[in-house]
Amino acid sequence: MNEFQDRLLYLSDLNVGMKARIKKIDTPNPILKRRLLEMGITRGTEVEIKKVSPLGDPVDILIRGYELCLRKEDLKMIGVEVIQ
C-alpha cells in the first residue's frame, strides 16, 4: 500500500502522475471557492498531476479532459483522496 492512500491530502501534496478524487475545497474565501468551482473543481471529480514548472509553481493538472494551471497556494486548499 502506498503512503498516500487512505488519508485526506491536498493537491499540493501529490507528485507528477498521481491521480486523486476531490473531496473538499477548504477555503474561507467565497470568491476563491466560486472561482475554483467554475473551473470544474468539484467534489467527486478526478484529477491528475501532469506537470510542475521548474521552480515548483504553478502546477498543471488534468481535470475533466482539459489541462488547468493552478498556483501551489490554491492547490493547498483542495482536499483529495489518492486513487489508482
The pLDDT assigned to 25 comes to: 92
On the question of pLDDT at 1 being above 50, the answer is no
Spell out the domains of the chain, with CATH numbers in brackets: 9-83 (2.30.30.90)
Nearest-angstrom CA–CA distance, 32 and 29:
5
The predicted pLDDT at position 3 comes to 56
| Reported confidence tier of residue 61, pLDDT bands at 50, 70, 90 | very high
- Beta bridge partners of residue 59, listed in sequence order: 52, 70
65 pLDDT above the threshold of 80: yes
Q: Output 5 or 46, whichever has higher pLDDT.
A: 46
Nearest to 48 by CA among 32, 65, 36: 65
Q: Which pLDDT tens digit goes with each residue over 2-19?
A: 555 556 799 999 999 999
